[in-house]
């Protein structure tokens, strides 16, 4: 029983943390802190100085995410320089109040603005901000700077030791863990289909099935990102194609299960289909390296026979049986690529990064302006709550603006942080009462809180804020200053900071969610234009291009829209019309990405060379529709021209004999329909070819 429980926990951990990336980050933070504390304890430094090292180790583990070890080492060195500078400036500013307040408010502008420079900018900006913040929290004085800088160096060096020696990133092992996560999530989709059939399509099972498919898609994208680390170019392209085929088969199985559930199933048919899905899941959840291989089992053969049955009088559920068989075949093909090909390919040359403008007035600049105004308001409001701890309000403003790009996103993030802080207060009080002043117990709970905060940072702001508040309770307990009043002040300052950040985001050069969404959708349409153009060249044999990679770029851009559009679809949005609008746009974009994946998986060089002229006319019309929609989005709010052009009603696929080519053209047609549907969301008319207005 216990063994099964731990196996279930392990499977869930693999499914929720593909590659153990977040687990490695959490352990890196904890190990780095422990090493730094042991070193400084041997030196004999006091607890507040040791906390500087602990904070440095935690923040570098948390924020330094450059793609290569060399780049990470450079960021760590720069982080020491930035952290040392800010600690020194904070200690000097403390001697000449209110200089420290002014510097802290100005620093938030720099820290938010630095996000434009990618992962290194985010790391250096965050580390600088938090070093200044904790200098105020720990009340660092100028005469303490030499020992404080020693602690900072030890903290960063501890993280480097863990990062490069104790827990380095091992690409091959990470890739195999991603495979396990993929299979766990594949099993979750099949389990979701079982639940959908068993509940006769309940609302809860529908959400579970949708969530399982979304998480599977995340795993496929992660595998796609990691595949070049362990495979050479040809094998990587082959695996990408096979993974797309598996994903398409999974999505087809989900849709088929929904259609089958809505049909009239005879007695016992539903139970038989659920049993078939369960048997299939038992195969999926096996390790594909086990002998006999999945493809050599009797269950696999039985599924293929059931799924390939052709009958003049088809039985109820045959479509779902066929979908199961297609998924089984697609999965086996993908596994054969992984098992039989060689790993440990040479590390690829990184593509040259596009240079970022140092100075530009864009959304990131407006965000920095909003943040500095919000920080000023937070100082004023925070001083009213507590003259000594106003900086907690400024911290909340920074966290709210970190990684967000619109007013709606900041409101949602602020609300989540407030809720997490409120829950964390009760948790912190309970934990403090339980440990009853025991230093070893406090340290143990402090490490657990830090691990939980880092582990959950990319998953849930609420849970992250809970662990951050619990960590604060443990810190106050260690310093001997814990009181219930301090935690309630923390909650009040968090509320003040969230309100100040939201007010600044609404009033000062506001960045509306819809405006950011429209910009991101323009990027989607740009990627779609390139994909269609290159696909046409591939299918006619004009060029041999990699449309798989183009379809994945489209996927990633759609994922960016998913994050941007969340304030519209989130339950906190009280407007039902806006939520419906957000879901309509997102679902339409997902359909476009799905159809592009289908086209990419089926496209072969010269597959439609005999249909050159008709194919070119077909794709040119779709590309023209994409361009019209892009122009319309770029000129929203003004008088715009251009109309989308509908198909003439005669599908090109009907006149093509080859089934694979017909499948590609059919998906292109449905992609065209999705572009037309997206146009409706932005009031772009669609007309028949004869009614086009020049």
Q: Is the backbone peptide bond immediately before 292 cis, with ω within 30 degrees of 0? A: yes
Number of H helices, E strands in the chain: 25, 2
Segment 72-101 shows an average pLDDT of 91
Q: Summarize the confidence of residues 61-78 as an average pLDDT.
A: 91
Decide if pLDDT at 277 tops 60: yes
Tokens of 657: 């004999």
**pLDDT, greater one: 607 or 365:** 365
Q: 376 — alpha (psi -120 to 50), left (phi > 0) or beta?
A: alpha
CA distance 324 to 190: 9
Q: How many of the other CB atoms lie within 10 Å of CB of 78?
A: 15
Q: What is the mean pLDDT of residues 251-264?
A: 84
- The answer to whether 158 and 53 are in contact (CB under 8 A) is yes
Mean pLDDT, range 210-221, rounded to an integer:
84
Choose between 271 and 150: higher pLDDT: 150
Tokens standing for residue 131: 């070093």
Contact 655, 638 (CB under 8 A): no
**Residues 154-178 pLDDT 10s:** 999 999 999 999 999 887 777 777 8
Q: What share of the chain is helix, strand, coil (3-state, %, to 5)?
A: 80, 0, 20
**Across 598-619, average pLDDT:** 78
Q: What is the pLDDT of residues 24-69, one digit of tens each?
A: 889 999 999 999 999 999 988 998 899 999 999 999 998 898 888 9
Distance CA 167, CA 164 (A): 7
pLDDT band at 355; cut points 50, 70, 90: low
Question: How far, in Å, CA of 432 to CA of 479, rounded?
Answer: 13
Quickly list DSSP for 245-282.
HHHHHHHHHHHHHHHHHHS---TTHHHHHHHHHHHHHH
Per-residue pLDDT for 310 more than 60?
Answer: no
Instruction: Specify the higher pLDDT residue, 560 or 269.
Output: 560
pLDDT value, residue 280: 81
Q: Residue 68 has what pLDDT?
A: 87
Stronger pLDDT, 224 or 582, i.e. the higher one = 582
Residue 89 is predicted with a pLDDT of 93
Which phi-psi region, left, alpha or beta, contains residue 517 (left: φ > 0; alpha: ψ -120 to 50)?
alpha
pLDDT higher than 70, residue 153: yes
Q: Which residue has the higher pLDDT, 269 or 39?
A: 39
Do residues 521 and 576 make contact, with C-beta atoms less than 8 angstroms apart? no
With b for 16 or more beta-carbon neighbours within 10 A and e for fewer, the 565-591 pattern comes to bbbbbbeebeeeebbebbeebbebbbb
3-state secondary structure of 687: strand
Band (350; pLDDT cuts 50, 70, 90): very low
- Read off the pTM: 0.80
- Residue 688 pLDDT more than 60? yes
Mean pLDDT of 304-332: 70
């Amino acid at each position: 029983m216990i063994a099964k429980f731990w196996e279930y926990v392990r499977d869930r951990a693999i499914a929720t943390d593909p590659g153990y990336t977040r687990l490695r980050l959490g352990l890196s933070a904890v190990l780095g802190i422990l090493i730094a504390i042991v070193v400084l304890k041997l030196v004999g430094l006091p607890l507040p100085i040791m906390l500087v090292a602990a904070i440095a180790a935690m923040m570098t583990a948390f924020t330094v995410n450059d793609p290569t070890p060399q780049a990470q080492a450079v960021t760590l060195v720069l982080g020491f320089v930035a952290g040392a500078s800010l600690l020194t400036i904070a200690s000097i500013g403390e001697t000449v109040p209110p200089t420290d307040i002014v510097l802290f408010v100005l620093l938030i502008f720099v820290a938010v603005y630095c996000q434009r420079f990618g992962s290194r900018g985010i790391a250096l900006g965050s580390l600088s901000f938090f070093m200044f913040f904790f200098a105020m929290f720990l009340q660092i004085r100028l005469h303490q700077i030499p020992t404080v800088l020693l602690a900072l160096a030890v903290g960063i060096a501890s993280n480097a030791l863990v990062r490069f020696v104790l827990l380095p990133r091992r690409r091959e092992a990470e890739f195999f863990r991603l495979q396990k996560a993929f299979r766990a999530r594949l099993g979750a989709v099949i389990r979701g289909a079982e639940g959908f059939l068993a509940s006769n399509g309940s609302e809860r099972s529908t959400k579970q099935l949708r969530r399982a498919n979304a998480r599977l898609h995340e795993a496929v994208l992660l595998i796609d990102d990691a595949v070049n680390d362990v495979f050479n170019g040809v094998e990587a392209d082959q695996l990408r194609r096979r993974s797309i085929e598996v994903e398409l088969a999974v999505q087809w199985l989900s849709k088929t299960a929904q259609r089958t559930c809505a049909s009239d199933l005879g007695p016992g048919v539903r139970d038989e289909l659920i049993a078939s899905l369960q048997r299939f899941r038992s195969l999926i959840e096996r390790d594909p390296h086990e002998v006999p291989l999945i493809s050599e089992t009797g269950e696999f053969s039985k599924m293929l026979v059931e799924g390939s049955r052709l009958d003049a009088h088809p039985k109820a559920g045959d479509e779902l049986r066929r979908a199961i068989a297609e998924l089984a075949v697609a999965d086996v093909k993908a596994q054969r690529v992984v098992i039989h090909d060689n790993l440990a390919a040479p590390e690829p040359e990184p593509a040259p990064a596009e240079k970022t403008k140092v100075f530009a007035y864009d959304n990131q600049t407006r965000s920095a302006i909003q943040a500095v105004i919000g920080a000023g308001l937070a100082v004023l409001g925070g001083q009213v709550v507590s003259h000594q701890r106003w900086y907690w309000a400024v911290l909340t403003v920074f966290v709210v603006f970190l990684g967000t790009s619109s007013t709606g996103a900041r409101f949602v993030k602020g609300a989540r942080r407030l809720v997490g802080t409120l829950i964390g207060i009760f948790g912190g009080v309970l934990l403090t009462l339980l440990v009853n002043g025991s230093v070893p117990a406090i340290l143990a709970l402090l490490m657990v809180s830090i691990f939980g905060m880092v582990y959950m940072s990319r998953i849930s702001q609420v849970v992250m804020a809970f662990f951050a508040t619990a960590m604060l309770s443990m810190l106050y307990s260690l310093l001997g200053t814990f009181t219930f009043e301090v935690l309630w002040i923390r909650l009040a300052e968090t509320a003040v900071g969230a309100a100040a950040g939201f007010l600044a985001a609404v009033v000062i050069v506001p960045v509306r969610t819809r405006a950011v969404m429209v910009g991101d959708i323009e990027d989607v349409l740009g990627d779609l234009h390139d994909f269609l153009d290159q696909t046409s060249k591939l299918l006619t044999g004009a060029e041999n291009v990699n449309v798989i990679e183009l379809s994945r770029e489209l996927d990633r851009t759609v994922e960016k829209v998913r994050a941007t559009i969340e304030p519209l679809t989130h339950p906190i949005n009280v407007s039902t019309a806006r939520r419906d609008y957000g879901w309509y746009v997102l679902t339409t974009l997902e359909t476009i990405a799905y159809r592009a994946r289908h086209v990419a998986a089926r496209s072969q060089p010269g597959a439609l060379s005999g249909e050159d002229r008709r194919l070119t006319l077909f794709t040119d019309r779709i590309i023209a529709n994409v361009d019209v929609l892009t122009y319309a989005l770029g000129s929203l709010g003004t008088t715009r021209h251009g109309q989308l052009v509908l198909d003439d009603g005669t599908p090109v696929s009907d006149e093509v004999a080859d089934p694979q080519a017909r499948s590609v053209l059919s998906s292109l047609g449905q992609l065209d329909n999705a572009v037309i549907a997206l146009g409706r969301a932005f009031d772009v008319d669609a007309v028949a070819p004869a009614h086009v207005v020049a």
